[in-house]
């Protein structure tokens, strides 16, 4: 099984996600670290839509970090 980093930036331990799939009739369980991400999409009108996912052991801290990143992205890509 793959080893995962003990800590990520800021000293936080990553959340774990367990995914169960059936391969050749057998249930296989895969565990991996939930990593934060930022995605930028362009609409048909040319506007940028940010999507922010932040994983943290403390939900309120995840919310704070996500909101900060989202606000920064919205300022960089204002809606016209």
Same domain, 30 and 52: no
Same domain, 42 and 76: yes
- What pLDDT does residue 75 have? 94
User: What value, to the nearest 5°, has the Cα angle with vertex 52 and ends 47 and 53?
Assistant: 155
- What pLDDT does residue 28 have? 77
What's phi and psi for 37, nearest 5 deg? -150, 160
User: What value, to the nearest 5°, has the Cα angle with vertex 14 and ends 64 and 33?
Assistant: 125
Same domain, 10 and 27: yes
As a residue count, the chain comes to: 80
Same domain, 25 and 44: no
**Per residue in 19-62, pLDDT tens?**
677 777 787 776 666 778 899 999 999 999 999 998 877 889 88
Count of structural domains within the chain:
2
Same domain, 1 and 29: yes
Better-scored residue on pLDDT, 70 or 36: 70
Question: Which structural domain range is residue 52 located in?
Answer: 36-80
Question: How far is residue 13's CA from residue 32's CA, in Å, rounded to a whole number?
Answer: 12
- What pLDDT does residue 15 have? 57
- What pLDDT does residue 27 have? 79
Same domain, 79 and 59: yes
Residue 27's SS3 state is strand
């Amino acid at each position: 099984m793959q080893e995962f980093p003990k800590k990520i930036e800021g000293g936080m331990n990553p959340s774990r996600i367990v995914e169960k799939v059936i391969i050749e009739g057998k249930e296989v369980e895969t565990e991996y670290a939930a990593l934060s991400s930022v995605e930028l999409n362009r609409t048909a009108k040319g506007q940028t839509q940010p999507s922010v996912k932040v994983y943290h052991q403390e939900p309120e801290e995840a919310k704070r970090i996500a909101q900060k990143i989202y606000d920064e992205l919205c300022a960089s890509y204002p809606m016209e």
